[in-house]
Chain A
Amino acid sequence: MNKKFAIFLKGLIAENPVLVLVLGTCPTLAQTGSVIAAFSMGIAATVVLLCSNMVISALRKIIPDTVRIPCYIVVIAGFVTVVQLVMHAYLPDLYDMMGVYLALIVVNCIILGRAEMYARKNNVLDSALDGLGMGVGFLIALVAMATIREILGSGSFAGIEIPFLVDYKIPFFAKAPGGFFVFGVLIAIVNKIGPKAGSEKRKNFSCEGCPSAAVCNKASCDAESVSKEA
């Protein structure tokens, strides 16, 4: 049981998709101007991630290797469209707020990345836990970033104005450069306080130093070394 729980937990900090794996950067920067948008993006991505991970894991023995990417994309796009339709029908305000970024979940690297790195090699329950963990990790990262950006940049939290700060807002944080800035600072903090901090110093910035090296079994490193040899 603890082992299963660990699968869920690792997505939160140790292998946080945004702050450690540095995936899904586009929605992270675009949707963190306000907490509500960030939260709904996080929830929508989590739902899609959970569902697609489960389905892809269930089909992992059926999907041939040669066409796995098109298959994953079809599955992911299907779930994204369902989420889109449901939100358009029942949460029209959020739907309007998220705009094109809702549809762009299809090409969110986290989702395709987890399918490729995890779901196709593990059973349905593990994949579901992984998807949930990664989704919540994504959500936490987005909300954390959005909180900082919205409080400093717009002087409000989830649309509620904060009395003192609203008069001294720093628009820089509400704009794209502020997004990059907060993103960088957060990555640095997580790197410092993360569980592995200090214990394992990065030898280099190539494959061995990659936090997800363990998950991908250094497959891409091998390919890289192969091509280097060639």
Chain B
Amino acid sequence: MNKKKIFTKENIMPVIVLTVICFVIAAVLGVANMLTEDRIEFNEEQKKYESLKVVIDGTFEEVEKPAGAPDSVNGMFKVTDGDGNIKGYAVTLKVQGYASEISVTVGVTPDGTVTKAVVTSEAETHGQAGMANYTDRFAGVTKDKVAEVDTYTDATGSSTAIRGAIVDAVNTVTGNMSEPEPEPALPREDSEIITLAKALLGTDTELTDVTPDKMEYAKRIYKAGNDGYVAYVLVMSRYGAPETETLVHVGIDGTIKGVNKLVWKTSDSSDMYTPPAVDVVDAFYAKLPGKKASDLKALQNSDLVSGATSTSTGLRDALVEALEAIEILISKDMPTPENELIPMINSLVGEQLELTNVTPDGLENTKRIYKVGNKGYVAYTVVMNTRYGRPETETLVFVGNDGKIIDFTKIVWRPSDPSDMYTPPAADIVDAFYAKLPGKKASDLKALQSSDLVSGATSTSTNLRDALVESLEAVEELIIKDMPTSEENVKALAITLVGKDVEFVDVTPRGMSNVRRVFSIGNGEYVVYTVVINARYGKAETETLLYVGEDGKIKNLNKMTWSPSPASDKYTPPSEETVNAFYAKLIGKNAAAISDFGATDLVSGATNTSTNLQSAIVEGLEAVNAIKAECDCDNADYTARIIGIVLLSLSVLGFAAYKIVPKITKRRKNG
């Protein structure tokens, strides 16, 4: 074959044709995917609710179960029909039956009528057939008749439990929540327990009741200042009398420091049974001090009281419950008590402002977050050193309304103790690290390199950094939530601004300084709500609602608040026309155009306010651009992948067509 003739029409056409066909098919698939994507996603979403469709059919949406709903309620799902009207609720419950836990799914209409109930899992002593028939009795029963449905004769225990579950479901839907049952009285008065606890402690410290909810045995847990905790543990016998009553003193390290055997009562001595001797029992109690929850759990049968195994096992389990509850309390506990913290916060902030405790749940190291007037937030973080059982760092950070650290107080910095092997870093190195904190946001701290941390105390400073990131991110969430205008009102204003009813999808990015909300409203359009807080007065200086078009330019805006410093002898605020002219200039501009505004474009006489507003708006528009870019990126990635695959397959096919096929044909012809 002559090499010069390789690019002939016969050689090139196949490549072009195959390429074109590939592109056309890829385009067709792209369109098909675009048209079906949402629907497919919806189908996949609804598949999760397949098992619920048996009791009530429709479109499912998981909702949070109302406060005060019975414990048996596992999950609750709102069911709507095709037009979005509420058809009812599907409620999943788990109750204790006769021999096993029974899972029940109940469909309930909004007025409390049961559509259908099914038992989804159980291991009761009879077949499921009878149970299935039993739940059929509830179909169509209205809320006032549910509790009167007869139980199933062969399985009264199981069917009573199922009926209870269905009644719970109906009550949850209709909002008819019962009051929690009053706790039965303790065999001792609280005052008596406190006196006994003080006797056990040997000091007269103030005791604070810190008993958590839903304790089965640990009826009272008191905090005794720095001495730790005292728990009063009660185990009832099956005859309804106290079997054991015990007071335990637990240190702040979670180990038992002392025990008071108040009551130890096994079954009475009889012909059949001789209770263990007192010294055997006391030997068991004597084993307790120095033990933690995990040590107690690890006790062998031989460590318990022989001759009273059941009683001592019951006591052991009850003590474990108390110790574990105390471990949780210790983790929540603050090494520096609140009354000492508040003066520190005031000196950190520089003035005495109203402090509101806004600590969210679920934080590990952030013990407290206070909202400081309108100036921002102060977070108190504690990192415990697990090896020494003491706080490694305790830090107060003052975070502004823009999520950046304004200032900090180093309460404790205490890495491992110096030894032959280890020299802690010098104080000035540590201080240099702390000095880096002001002006940083959560994302900045995350980006810190190990060279930015404290060499010689890498673990301590990394822990501190992580704890601060946790605090700052929590504060960012709080900032987002904290809006001068409520979310409903913002949405209402946005609807007026956009001029049509739209669906708001909250896409607010985190770590924004002034942007409080970004809503996607479809068609590539967004609504941005910005708030600038006046640092001096602590109130909103400007609040602005922007309607951002597909092209990233402001289509319209709502001047919600414009309040620079109030007028005084020294200061006259600009006239309303000047201000409105400034706002009018913003419309039709994108982020770049607005950030290019010069001094003359701003509001003379309110330069600060308008500069702040300018940067807030630019931030908002850039956030929108970033959100859009994120989506475009994905598409670009997808396209690139398709092109890559097409090119790869083309080159393989081309090679096959021009090198291999002719050879074979040639060989055949020759052969």
Contact = CB atoms under 8 A, between A and B. Distances in A.
B184 interface: no
B99 to A, nearest CB: 33
B671 A71 contact: no
B22 A74 contact: yes
Interface stretch (A8-16, A88-96, A109-117, A181-189): A88-96
B25 interface: yes
A66 B14 CA distance: 7
B40 A75 contact: no
Interface string B660-671: 010000001001
Contacts of B18: 67, 70-71, 74
A81 B43 contact: no
Given A81-B29, A82-B28, A89 B36 contact: yes
Contacts of B21: 59, 63, 71, 74-75
Contact of A62 (B10, B17, B29, B668): B17
B668 A86 contact: no
Interface string A212-230: 0000000000000011001
Interface string A104-145: 000000000000000000000000000000000000000000
A106 to B, nearest CB: 12
Contacts of A230: 668, 671
A85 B39 CA distance: 10
Given A71-B17, A226-B668, A66 B657 contact: yes
A5 B14 CA distance: 35
A78 interface: yes
Interface string A21-32: 000000000000
Contacts of B653: 67, 70
A74 to B, nearest CB: 5
A78 B29 contact: yes
Contacts of B657: 66-67
The binding surface of chain B is classed by DSSP as helix
A163 interface: no
A90 B28 contact: no
Contact of A63 (B17, B43, B671): B17
B39 A82 contact: no
Given A89-B43, A92-B47, A64 B36 contact: no
Given A89-B40, A92-B43, A75 B14 contact: no
Interface residues of B, number: 25
Interface in B1-34: 10, 13-15, 17-18, 21-22, 25, 28-29, 32-33
B92 to A, nearest CB: 23
A75 B25 contact: yes
A88 B36 contact: yes
A64 B17 contact: yes
Interface in A41-96: 59, 62-64, 66-67, 70-71, 74-75, 77-78, 81-82, 85-86, 88-90, 92
B559 to A, nearest CB: 44
B350 to A, nearest CB: 61
A81 B32 contact: yes
A66 B657 CA distance: 6
Contact of A86 (B22, B28, B32): B32
A37 B244 CA distance: 66
A85 B32 CA distance: 7
A75 B15 CA distance: 15
Interface in B623-671: 649, 653, 657, 661, 668, 671
Contacts of B15: 67
Interface string A161-191: 0000000000000000000000000000000
Interface in B442-464: none
Most B CB within 10 A of own CB, among A67, A75, A81, A227? A67
Contacts of B661: 66
Nearest to B652: A70
Given A66-B657, A78-B29, A226-B668, 17 more contacts: A62-B17, A63-B17, A67-B17, A67-B18, A67-B653, A70-B653, A71-B18, A74-B18, A74-B22, A75-B21, A77-B25, A78-B28, A88-B36, A89-B35, A89-B36, A92-B43, A92-B47
Interface of B: 10, 13-15, 17-18, 21-22, 25, 28-29, 32-33, 35-36, 39-40, 43, 47, 649, 653, 657, 661, 668, 671
Interface of A: 59, 62-64, 66-67, 70-71, 74-75, 77-78, 81-82, 85-86, 88-90, 92, 226-227, 230
29 contacts: A59-B21, A62-B17, A63-B17, A63-B21, A64-B13, A67-B14, A67-B15, A70-B649, A71-B17, A74-B21, A74-B22, A75-B21, A78-B28, A78-B29, A81-B29, A81-B32, A82-B32, A85-B32, A85-B36, A85-B40, A86-B32, A86-B36, A89-B39, A90-B36, A92-B43, A226-B668, A227-B668, A227-B671, A230-B671
